[in-house]
Chains A and B, each alone.
Chain A
Amino acid sequence: MSLKHVWIVFSKEIKDMARDKRTLISNILIPIILMPLVFTLMGGGISKMEKDIVENVTVALSQASDTPEIRDLVADIFSDNPNIKILDPVADPVEAVRNDRIRFVLDVEKDFAEKMNQGKPFHITVTFDQTDTKSGGSYGIITNAIEQYAQKVTEDRLTKMNIDVSILRPIEILNEDASPEKGGGNLMLMMILPMLATILIAVGGIPAATDLVAGEKERGTFEPLLTTQANRMSILFGKYLAVTLFAIICVVAQLIGVFIGNIVSPTFLTMGVPGADLKFHIPTLALLLTILITVTLGMVFAGLQLAVSTYARSFKEAQTYMSFLMLIAMLPAYATMIMQPDDVKLFMFFIPLLNAIASLKLVLGNTINYSYLGIALVSSLVYVFISLILAASMFKKEKVLFRS
């Protein structure tokens, strides 16, 4: 293999790809534009939903409960909640809730005042739609307000009896968060980034790999190339490096998109929680190892893609085979999407794709384990070697190269 020839092939392929506007637009420009757009739409949607759940809570009484005393009681219960709007009574609570005319309908026992005076409990029936996100989300606000009112009544009763109200709370729970500054902020990023990065690095090289061998065969440029003084391994390696670089560029474009998206819509990655910041404390070595693991995954797939592209008779045939390769990359990425860093298992670091996903999840979750990252890198390098041997063997096989 001649490094000079590798470089000549590599630089030609990069120049050629850089001039392919269609591929550049679909693989680089669109992700940069699309991600901020997705963030804005989805992030905006989440924020709007959160705001709606908290701020637009509508409550009405059933017609049967619509008495001046009950109206006063309800106004008293929700007096500390200005976001809860009390609307006109409804005749059919179930119909009103189902048709989204109102979020909650309260039905209060008519003799509540008498029972309260006697110190007996009375019932308030809350009708709501549990399957409706907004109704289900606001349910806690309504029940909290009622429970606080009930507690206030209890405290008043105990005070009248000269009993200390603390008798009701023999235990008070104090919370202390022991997580390493995890917060809730990185949750979304831990879900989407490993998935995005691994899928993209694995499939990002597909357009280039398809074009660089199957495409050349179809256009009739491949045979003249094989008659030059560059040997086949130099040609293969030049193309291999170009495919790998293209896959890396695709991931970088996507990350730029995520970065811009986070600036445009900061609440998306924090699941709509405005205060929850993204917190990272990633040591340089861990970051470097993770990048290397992701890049080596790209190299594994670049080798596989070139092997497939070499085997294919035509551009179209290569595209068909590549779609299977894409599926192989997507399955583990989606299967582990909601997996948390604590759920990551040792065996994952030995398996291609899973090792990159697991490493990214660990690092993004601020759980650094150098042994695991080391295993992932070494196993990735072994797979790079295997995929290169596969691509090289395809490139040497006359039956494969001149299939028609």
Chain B
Amino acid sequence: MLELKELTKHFGEVKAVDRVSFRVERGEVFGLLGENGAGKTTTLRLLATMLKPTSGTAVVAGFDMVKEPEKVRKHIGILFGGESGLYDRLTAAENIEYFGKLNNMDKDELKRRVQELTEIFGMGEYIHRKTGKFSKGMKQKVAFARSIVHNPDIMLFDEPTSGLDVSAIRDVHDFIMDCKKAGKTIILSSHTMSEVEKLCDKIGIIHKGQLADYGTIPQLTAKYKESSLEEVFIKLVGEKI
């Protein structure tokens, strides 16, 4: 479970995130939909405790992110879009192990988990090879495995499909659905309408740091008397431009 309470982040005069509140239940996929610069990444960085809020807070897996950031980090996994962000000179296994160790996993537990993840993502052939010469798809699988090595309850996906080709996007979507099936609480930030429609149980539309509204797609379309999420988005965002 994850709950944001008036979460606010200012960078000088700029209100990057402005009193954002919502709740995501266990096993739910919450889509944060917004244009570039709307505050999606800042919200996820706040939830990942990489940034400290100016005011407000969030309760992540029962822990207050301001008071107990390290305990919060124990329960979250994060996957960023674009480049997979791997260490090229380390093997796939070493990349995954590094994050497992930094998440306080013990040696035996980590060994078992790497084996398990290798099987889940079909990385057997290249798990002990350096990632520098991997294809984008191979790197992506390692990045998936790395993000869930410590078996987090909550997954944060920050525009995970940005810059990817069709098959890689499909892999990311499958991974998100697998996480959902595993009962993880998920927040997915995206500016792609079809992606959030396909994957999310609830959607929050964020604009200029403020959460314009949130709910399920039927709830939103009914509320704003529009035929599609896109129309709702344009209505909410367009009204505020």
Query: Chain A interface (Cβ within 8 Å of chain B)?
Result: 5, 8-9, 12, 15-16, 19-20, 219-231, 398-399, 401-402
A225 to B80, CA, bound (A): 12
- Report the minimum CB–CB distance from B79 to chain A (whole Å): 8
- Report the minimum CB–CB distance from A310 to chain B (whole Å): 14
| 6 nearest A-B residue pairs (beta carbon) | A220-B85, A228-B102, A19-B89, A220-B83, A230-B102, A221-B85
- CB contact between B80 and one of A16, A224, A231, A402 (< 8 Å): that residue: A224
Contact A8 B98 (CB under 8 A): yes
Q: Does B135 count as interface, using CB distance less than 8 angstroms? A: no
Which residue in chain A gives the minimum CB-CB distance to B47? A227
- Report the minimum CB–CB distance from B197 to chain A (whole Å): 27
Identify the interface centre among B45, B52, B82, B87: most chain A CB within 10 Å of its CB.
B87
Contact B87 A16 (CB under 8 A): yes
Residues of A within 8 A of B86 (CB): 219, 221
Contact B73 A227 (CB under 8 A): yes
Which residue in chain B gives the minimum CB-CB distance to A17? B89
Q: Does B92 count as interface, using CB distance less than 8 angstroms? A: no
User: Can you list 20 A-B contacts with CB-CB less than 8 angstroms, sorted by A residue number?
Assistant: A5-B102, A8-B101, A12-B87, A15-B90, A219-B87, A220-B82, A220-B83, A220-B84, A220-B85, A223-B50, A224-B78, A224-B85, A226-B50, A227-B73, A227-B78, A228-B73, A228-B102, A228-B103, A401-B50, A402-B45
Which residues of B in the span 65-105 have a Cβ within 8 Å of any Cβ on A?
A: 70, 73-74, 76-78, 80, 82-90, 94, 98-99, 101-104
Which residue in chain B gives the minimum CB-CB distance to A219? B85
- Report the minimum CB–CB distance from A212 to chain B (whole Å): 11
Interface string of B222-238 (1 = CB under 8 A from A): 00000000000000000
Residues of B within 8 A of A12 (CB): 87, 90, 94, 98
A222 to B94, CA, bound (A): 16
A226 to B44, CA, bound (A): 13
Contact B51 A398 (CB under 8 A): yes
Residues of B within 8 A of A222 (CB): 85
Given that A219-B83, A220-B80, A399-B11 are contacting pairs, would A228 and B89 also be in contact in the complex, using a CB cutoff of 8 Å? no
Q: Does B2 count as interface, using CB distance less than 8 angstroms? A: no
- CB contact between A231 and one of B45, B70, B84, B99 (< 8 Å): that residue: B70
A223 to B80, CA, bound (A): 9
Assuming A398-B50, A402-B50, what are 11 further A-B pairs, CB within 8 angstroms?
A5-B102, A8-B98, A8-B101, A15-B94, A224-B85, A225-B102, A227-B73, A228-B99, A229-B103, A230-B102, A402-B45
Residues of A within 8 A of B146 (CB): 224
Contact A224 B99 (CB under 8 A): yes
Which residue in chain B gives the minimum CB-CB distance to A221? B85
A228 to B103, CA, bound (A): 6
A175 to B51, CA, bound (A): 74
Which residue in chain B gives the minimum CB-CB distance to A9? B102
A12 to B90, CA, bound (A): 9
- CB contact between A229 and one of B51, B85, B102 (< 8 Å): that residue: B102
Residues of A within 8 A of B179 (CB): none
A16 to B103, CA, bound (A): 19
Residues of B within 8 A of A15 (CB): 90, 94
Contact A8 B102 (CB under 8 A): yes
- Report the minimum CB–CB distance from A13 to chain B (whole Å): 10
